[in-house]
Every structure is written in C-alpha cells, then in structure tokens.
C-alpha cells in the first residue's frame, strides 16, 4: 500500500501520457494506491476563484476534482477530510457516482 499525493495540479506521480511515475510503478508491483490531497487542499479552487470569480461562482469544483482523482483506474482510495456528516454524505455521493467517472485516457488522447 502506498499513500501518495496526486490530483489535477500534481500529476508527476502518475504521468497519464506515458503511464510513468511512482503510481504505475507501485501498481505494477501489486501495491494499492491511497491518495492524499485529492482535491488540491483548496489550491486549485482558490486559483480559479481568484482568476475567474464570476465564472466559478456556481461551479462545484470540489466534486470535479475528487471525481478527476478517483477516475484514475490505478487509484484504490482517496483520503478526504471529513469534518461533519455533510462531508461524509458529499464524499459518498461523489464517489458513488461511477457514471460520472472521466475516461482519462480519452481526455489525454491515449
């Protein structure tokens, strides 16, 4: 089992173009992958709201980011900060919505 940093902004651990990085290497050795900072610890959200305040007002960036991270088929678990029952419900709703998963290989042209 490996706990590792991976999200939309931090992809060096799993290069989607060449299937290189420590995540593919760990999976090749039959290790499970546990993600931390799956939703960028608010870095991406803050950047987008700063640069595009009007456009981002009604965008659910957190759901997009979590879904992006767990759309990677090499990922087994995404750790989330669960401060309340609402956080648990939200996380479960996003993770249970498998129909919303992204085809990352198609997105990256692979």
* Cβ proximity of 69 and 10 under 8 Å: no
| Rounded alpha-carbon distances, angstroms, from residue 22 to 28, 89, 110 | 10, 31, 19
Confidence (pLDDT) at 17 = 76
Decide if 21 contacts 12 (C-beta within 8 A). Answer: yes
How many residues are listed for the chain in this entry? 110
Tokens linked to 75 = 């990922």
Spans of the chain below 50 pLDDT: none
d(C-alpha 8, C-alpha 110), whole Å: 17
pLDDT in tens, 94-103: 999 999 999 9
The domain locations on the chain are 2-107
- Looking at the whole model, is its pTM more than 0.85? yes
Work out whether the CA dihedral 47, 52, 58, 59 comes out positive or negative: negative
What confidence score (pLDDT) does residue 53 get? Answer: 96
pLDDT at res. 109: 79
């Amino acid at each position: 089992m490996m706990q590792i940093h991976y999200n939309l902004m931090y992809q060096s651990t799993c290069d989607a173009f060449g299937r290189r990085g420590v995540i593919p290497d760990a999976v090749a050795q039959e290790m499970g992958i546990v993600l931390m900072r799956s939703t960028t610890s608010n870095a991406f959200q803050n950047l987008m709201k700063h640069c595009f305040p009007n456009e981002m007002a009604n965008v659910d960036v957190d759901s997009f980011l979590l879904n992006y991270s767990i759309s990677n088929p090499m990922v087994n678990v995404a750790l989330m900060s669960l401060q309340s029952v609402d956080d648990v419900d939200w996380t479960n709703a996003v993770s249970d919505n498998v129909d919303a998963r992204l085809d990352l290989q198609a997105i990256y042209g692979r």
